[in-house]
């Protein structure tokens, strides 16, 4: 809970300071496909496909941009069961990533950018084919980094996300990780 308070306080400070100096902004939506797994000691596990859907707010500044997103995402992994059967574990989160974004090769219609930042994740549901999964933290947090290409009002982006809070209350050493490929659609140019 201490991590959550620190992240929320940092977010409020960043937003209040940056909005006072704001000059240009845009909003948009984001949809991604991701492959997620977890870092841990179990060896018979496999990545699981998922999705992300939500909105974004992009604030421009002279040196960098700040991007705040709110979306619903799925994460998970598959465990080997009996024989060739795999048990899928699905986690649904409401995520709030806050990123610093730097654009390169900027012109009127396209640019390349890198971004990185922190994200807060709030568990909505954790299930498998048998029942709801017990012992999963309600809050998770992590870091992310990505590379994107924006053309006019559309951007293609690859991103890596890694949590730094153990999501399992029963077994130690389980941290979500995912690789995603997504598109952002901006409602107007910056």
The chain-wide mean pLDDT, for the chain, equals 84
Task: Write down the pLDDT at residue 21.
Answer: 52
CA–CA separation, 54 and 73 (whole Å): 9
Task: Write down the pLDDT at residue 156.
Answer: 97
Please tell me whether the overall predicted TM-score, pTM, comes out greater than 0.75 for this model. Answer: yes
Strand (E) or helix (H) holding 9: helix 2-20
Of 6-10, 103-107, 133-137, 152-156, which one has max mean pLDDT? 152-156
Task: Write down the pLDDT at residue 83.
Answer: 67
Q: Where are the domains of the chain?
A: 2-186
Strands (E) across 40-153 are located at: 45-60, 65-80, 86-104, 110-128, 139-151
Residue 76, CB half-sphere, CA atoms under 13 Å: how many?
23
Instruction: Please check the confidence at residue 130 and state whether its pLDDT lies above 80.
Output: no
Q: Can you read off the two tokens belonging to residue 14?
A: 């960043």
Task: Write down the pLDDT at residue 42.
Answer: 65
Nearest-10 Cα torsion for 185, 26, 109, 148? -60
Residue 156, CB half-sphere, CA atoms under 13 Å: how many?
3
- Does domain 2-186 match CATH 2.40.40.20? no
Instruction: Please check the confidence at residue 15 and state whether its pLDDT lies above 90.
Output: no
Bridge partners, 65 (sequence order): 60, 101
Residue tagged 């890198």 (tokens): 114
Contact call for residues 15 and 7 (beta carbons, < 8 A): no
More confident residue, 124 or 127: 124
């Amino acid at each position: 809970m201490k991590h959550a308070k620190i992240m929320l306080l940092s977010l409020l400070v960043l937003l209040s300071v940056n909005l006072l100096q704001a000059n240009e902004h845009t909003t948009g939506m984001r949809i991604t496909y991701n492959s997620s797994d977890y870092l841990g000691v179990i060896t018979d596990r496999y990545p699981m496909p998922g999705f992300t859907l939500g909105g974004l707010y992009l604030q421009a500044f002279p040196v960098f941009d700040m991007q705040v997103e709110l979306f619903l995402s799925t994460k998970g992994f598959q465990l080997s069961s009996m024989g060739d059967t795999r048990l899928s574990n699905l986690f649904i989160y409401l995520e709030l990533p806050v990123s610093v974004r730097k654009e390169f090769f900027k012109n009127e219609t396209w640019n390349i950018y890198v971004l990185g930042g922190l994200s807060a994740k709030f568990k909505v549901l954790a299930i498998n084919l048998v029942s709801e999964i017990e012992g999963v933290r309600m809050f998770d947090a992590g870091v992310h980094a990505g590379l994107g290409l924006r053309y006019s009002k559309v951007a293609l982006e690859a991103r890596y996300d890694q949590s730094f809070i153990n999501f399992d209350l029963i077994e130690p050493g389980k941290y979500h990780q995912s690789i995603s490929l997504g598109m952002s659609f901006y409602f107007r140019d910056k």
